[in-house]
Structure 1
Amino acid sequence: MSLIDSLVLAFYLIGTLAIGLYYVGRNRGSKDMFAAGGKSPWWVSGLSGFMTLKSAGTFVVWGGLAYREGVVAIAINTCIGISAILVGLFVAGRWRRTGVTTPAEFVELRFGRGAVQFYTWAMMGVRILSTGVALYAVSVMLVALVPLQPGNLLRDAATGQLSVSFAIFLFGAIVIAYTVAGGLWAVLMTDVLQFIILQLAVLFVIPLLLLRLNSGIELVPLPATFFSPLSEQYTLWFMAGWVGVHFFLVGAEWAFAQRYICVPTDSDARKSAYLFGALYLISPALWLTPPILFRMMRADANPEQAYILASQAVLPVGMLGLMMAAMFSATASAISGQINVFAGVLTEQFYRRVFRPAASDRALVAAGRWFTLLIGIALVIVALLVPQLGGAEKIILTLTGLLFGPLMAPTIWGLLSGRIGARAVLTTALVSFAAGLWVKFAMAVGAPFGASAIAVWMQGNPRITDVLIGAVLPVVVLAVAHLLARGDHPAWGAIRARSANYVPTPLAPGEDVDDAPARIVAICLSASGVLTLLLALLNERDQGALVLFGAAMLGIAFVAWRVSAPSPPAAAAERGPSA
Structure 2
Amino acid sequence: MAPIDFAVLAAYLIGTLLIGLRYAGRNRRSRDMFAAGGRSPWWVSGLSGFMTLKSAGTFVVWGGLAYREGVVAIAINTCIGVAGLLVGSLVAGRWRRTGVTTPAEFVQLRFGPQAVQLYTWAMMGMRIVSTGVALYALSVMLVALVPLEPGHLLRDDATGHLSLAVAIGVFGAVVVAYTVTGGLWAVLMTDVLQFIVLQLAVLFVIPLLWWQLHSGVPLAPVPETFFQPFSSQYTLWFMAGWVAVHFFLVGAEWAFAQRYICVPTERDARWSAWLFGVLYLVSPTLWLTPPLLYRMLQPDADPEQAYILASQLVLPAGMLGLMMAAMFSATASAISGQINVFAGVLTEQFYRRLRPEASERRLVAAGRLFALLIGAALIAVAWCVPRMGGAEKIVLTLTGMLLGPLMAPTIWGLLSGRIGTHTVFATAGISFSIGVLVRLGMDLGWFADSAPARWIQANPRLTDVLVGAVLPVVILSISHVIAKGPAPQWQRVRARIDAYAPTPMTTVDANDHAPARTVAISLTVTGVLTLVLIAFNDSGRTALLMFGAILLLIAAVAWRRVVRQLRAQHPG
Report the TM-score when normalising by structure 1.
0.95
Report if the CA contact (8 A) 2:291-2:306 is conserved.
yes
Aligned position for 1:521: 519
Q: In the alignment, is residue 175 of structure 1 matched against residue 175 of structure 2? A: yes
Farther off after superposition, 525-534 or 330-339:
525-534
CA contact (8 A) 2:523 2:554 kept: yes
Counterpart check, 1:423 vs 2:429: no
- Please identify, of 136-145 and 249-258, the stretch whose mean Cα deviation from structure 2 is larger: 136-145
User: CA 1:218–1:26 in structure 2 vs 1: closer, same or farther (change >3 Å)?
Assistant: same
Match of 1:108 in 2: 108
Contact 2:110 2:493 in 1 (8 A): yes
Counterpart Cα distance in 1 of 2:493 and 2:236:
37
Which residue does the alignment assign to 1:368? Answer: 367
Checking the alignment, whether the CA contact within 8 Å between 2:511 and 2:568 is kept in structure 1 is: no
Segment of structure 1 superposing worse, 484-493 or 540-549: 540-549
- Separation (CA, whole Å) in 2 of partners of 1:497 and 1:327: 44
Residue identity opposite 2:137 in structure 1 = A
Alignment check: 8 A CA contact 2:27 2:182 kept: yes
1:441 Cα offset (Å): 2.2
- Report if the CA contact (8 A) 2:35-2:262 is conserved: yes
Q: Deviations over 1:488-544 (max 9, x none)?
A: 011111211221221334653112442211112212321221111111122121112
More displaced, 529-538 or 280-289? 529-538
Question: Gaps (5+ residues) in structure 2?
Answer: none
Closer, same or farther: CA 571–135 of 1 in aligned 2, 3 Å: closer
Corresponding residue SS for 2:448: coil
Query: What is the SS of the residue equivalent to 1:228?
Result: coil
Q: CA 1:415 to 1:570, structure 2 compared with 1: closer, same or farther past 3 Å?
A: closer
Report what 1:312 is aligned to. Answer: 312
Matches within 5 A, 1:14-53: 14-53=14-53
Q: Secondary structure at the match of 1:296?
A: helix
1:443-483 per-position Cα deviation (integer Å, ceiling 9, x unaligned): x1454411101101101211111110000000011111111
1:315–1:571 CA distance, 2 compared to 1 (3 A): closer
* Structure 1 residue 394 displacement after superposition: 8.0
Deviation by residue 1:153-210 (Cα, 9 ceiling, x = unmatched)? 4333343222222211110011001101100000000001111111111011001001
Matches of 2:475 and 2:485 in 1, distance apart? 17
Q: Which runs of 5+ in 1 are unaligned?
A: 575-579
Q: Distance in 1 between matches of 2:545 and 2:136?
A: 33
2:139–2:167 contact (8 Å) kept in structure 1: yes
Structural mapping, 1:350-369, within 5 Å: 350-354=350-354, 356-369=355-368
Contact 2:196 2:522 in 1 (8 A): no
Distance in 1, matches of 2:329 and 2:395, equals: 21
Q: Tell me how far apart the structure 1 counterparts of residues 377 and 569 of structure 2 sit (CA, whole Å).
A: 50
The residue number in structure 2 matching 1:80 is 80
1:137 aligned partner: 137
**1:305 to partner: Cα distance:** 1.4
Q: Which amino acid aligns with 2:555?
A: A
Contact 1:61–1:393 under 8 Å retained in 2: no
User: Does the 8 A contact of 1:52 with 1:330 survive in 2?
Assistant: yes
Question: Are 1:35 and 1:184, in contact at CA under 8 Å, matched by a contact in 2?
Answer: yes
Q: For 1:140-219, what aligned pairs fall within 5 Å after superposition?
A: 140-219=140-219
Deviates further, 159-168 or 49-58:
159-168
1:473 partnered with 2:471:
yes
The answer on whether the counterparts of 2:507 and 2:569 sit within 8 Å (CA) in structure 1 is: no
Report the residue type matching 1:37 in the other structure: G
| Alignment of structure 1 residues 137-536 onto 2, 5 Å | 137-354=137-354, 356-387=355-386, 388=388, 390=390, 402-442=401-441, 444-445=442-443, 447-505=445-503, 507-536=505-534
Q: Kindly provide the amino acid, as one letter, of the partner of residue 436 in structure 2.
A: L
Preserved contact between residue 45 and residue 272 of structure 1 (Cα < 8 Å):
yes
Residues 441 and 447 in structure 1, CA contact (< 8 A), matched pair in contact too: no
Partner of 2:538: 540
- After TM superposition, the structure 1 stretch with the greater mean CA deviation from structure 2, 447-456 or 103-112, is 447-456
SS in 2 for 1:285: helix
Letter in 1 for 2:546: L
Q: Is the 8 A contact 1:138 1:331 kept in 2?
A: yes
- Contact (CA 8 Å) 2:511, 2:569: kept in 1 or not? no
Q: Give the direction of change, closer, same or farther, for the CA distance of 1:441–1:200 in structure 2 (3 Å limit).
A: same
- Structure 2 residue 551 is matched with structure 1 residue 553: yes
Distance across 2 between alignment mates of 1:217 and 1:134? 36
- How far, CA to CA, are the matches of 1:40 and 1:570 in structure 2? 18
User: Alpha-carbon deviation of 1:564?
Assistant: 2.3
Cα shift at 1:309: 1.0
Give the C-alpha shift of residue 569 in structure 1: 6.8
What amino acid sits opposite 1:101 in the alignment? T
Query: CA 1:513 to 1:341, structure 2 compared with 1: closer, same or farther past 3 Å?
Result: farther
How far apart are the structure 2 equivalents of 1:436 and 1:544?
A: 54
State the secondary structure of the residue aligned to 2:402.
helix
Distance 1:568 1:221, change over 3 A: closer
Cα 1:225–1:158, aligned 2, differ >3 Å: closer, same or farther?
A: farther
Structure 2: distance between partners of 1:225 and 1:393: 30
DSSP 3-state at the match of 1:275:
helix
Mapped contact 1:245–1:404 kept (Cα < 8 A)? no
The one-letter code sitting in structure 2 at the alignment partner of 1:161 is H
Query: In 2 relative to 1, CA 403–187 (structure 1 residues): closer, same or farther, beyond 3 Å?
Result: same
The size of the alignment, in residue pairs, is 571
- TM score, norm. by length of structure 2: 0.96
Once the two structures are superposed, what CA deviation does each residue of 1:392-447 show, in whole Å capped at 9, x if it has no partner? 888777765x33211100000000000111111111011110001111222x1454
Report the CA distance shift for 1:364/1:447 in structure 2 as closer, same or farther (over 3 A).
farther
The offset of 1:117, in angstroms, is: 1.0
CA contact (8 A) 1:251 1:412 kept: yes
Code of the residue aligned with 2:242 in structure 1: it is W
300-309 or 281-290, larger mean C-alpha shift = 300-309
Shift of 1:317: 0.6
CA contact (8 A) 1:135 1:383 kept: yes
**RMSD, aligned CA:** 1.9
